[in-house]
Structure 1
């Protein structure tokens, strides 16, 4: 799938890659599907679909508790998936990777478990203007429950994280920084390692929301030195309903359970219950076994392609799409940071984003419209929302042209 043009340049054979994704061969409203909503949920390669099918046909059983063959097979596959995740993000050991439903649940786990155990009234949490609601609302719930204070890092007009303003927010009461690595609406790549270093200089742990970063950048949690890292499988070409919380082992081991139930216990009596260590103490009940296995298969697919080739292609698409969209009269792009992933949010003069999205859909073009779960961010720009086109490594230049043509049709009908 990867063609080497030179020792320093790696290009994807995009047409071969596209054949790995069955849904990309489909039609919408009689037109070939142009899928540009990858920031919301990426499509799945055949290898992931086949692995899910194989699990349910050949290995379906509950894990950890059974001595029979199928249970043992399923348990090995599930725990092997944890090892794949740990390798992919370079966790020190697999037990630092907790399977959750998604990045949202992972943030909520930290807020509910670490937050309630370590925070009190008056303590401060730092987030940023560009956070997804999943990294705002759980902390607001703690604020309402415990009386903690939320402080917000501002951003520039180009959508860049303001590092000096971030530094200025720290006080003796700051107990956590919870920040996105990549903005899902603007595409901005934040200086995550610097953000962590600044917080650690103040003795403050850091949670990084990697939901948008995980599909576009190589992730090394040990190099980042973050204390927590969260992401969702469905944005990484894996199944829905599966996510990961990475946490440093000492932090996770000191945290109380998030939920109670089967498999997270050591011993239960009516008088007292004791709990298992990590990762089991945070995975109560029957987990999304097939989801974890499917996520591991998606990771292996990404590893086979290689980040170098993926990033090169996506950055090429980002540049070309940006240049062509800016040629459209009355179109304004939000998020013009010098370092960003292949996400473009924009508005068109006099045209509601939802109307534009509906017209594009009639031509088979899938974009996201609305606030993208970042309402405070759009309030910063005086908007209710935007149109967002987000590209993955399987998108093409021809699809950019179809988007531009479709937007011309939108202007003709609505402008």
Structure 2
């Protein structure tokens, strides 16, 4: 009996042990896998602040003045923080230039003129210095003048006068021949013309000068240089950019004006030239300017429509008052073709003066004589280079001196 009870007890103990092992293994299987060591530990969020009676009193700390607070020292090798870049300054206004005085400007440019005209002056002196002036020599003299674009009628007049004076003079020393040739050439060029550009209208409104010419003669550049000539003579100027067909013309003229402190009135590209010319004169009156210079579009003298438009510009401008000057710009290198251009322009507008450009680049200085004879108006200005102050008032004596040299 005791043995049976002992066996039952042992069996119960064994069953209990087995069931404990089963439960223990089940619990182990339900545990989550252990996180790897590199996984960061997630901390619990901070407790909410306490308010009211539950609030904890703030601990008092000694306060420091701003002088006692030190800035952290920069670490060695650390790149210093650059200050923010300053905003770019507005472009400065262009510096106003002081143009070269016009008095004697042609004399100062004499050497440049003489280099291009030597073939005329020296050629004539060489021919006149021959011991025997036969018919062949006089024909050579006549040919030299014609090549220089003096023109047929003026050439014949000059040759006849030279023949007569040389015959009377007899002995011909170089100095005498030079003096003789100078006198005759000055007389041919003419000293009785009024060559001053009119800058005094005689009324309260400004003098109005319109600049005309064909394409490529340097018309806009000449207008800008003329502004310098007038400013150098103490005149205030307003520029009218009435050349609306060429995109860069208004910008070019405005640049010339800014250099001498003259304001430019301009309009939209392709706008009405007459309207811009009218506004320029109106602005000149409002500013009390001395002179208004109007640059017109270059046009072919064979285009009737363009020439008619030039006449319209003239009529519109004259609503403010009389047009004091109409300057025709001619390229001296074009020779006799320039005379054809001059005739057509003179039919549309009343030309009052001529500006000969590029005279330093041609040996055809006789065009001065020919164009004056053709139009009956004087050459008032000549261009002798690309420099800003290379536009000079025309002086017959200085011009002839440059032609025949020393």
TM-score with structure 1 setting the length: 0.32
Larger Rg: 2
Structure with greater strand percent: 1
Structure with greater helix percent: 2
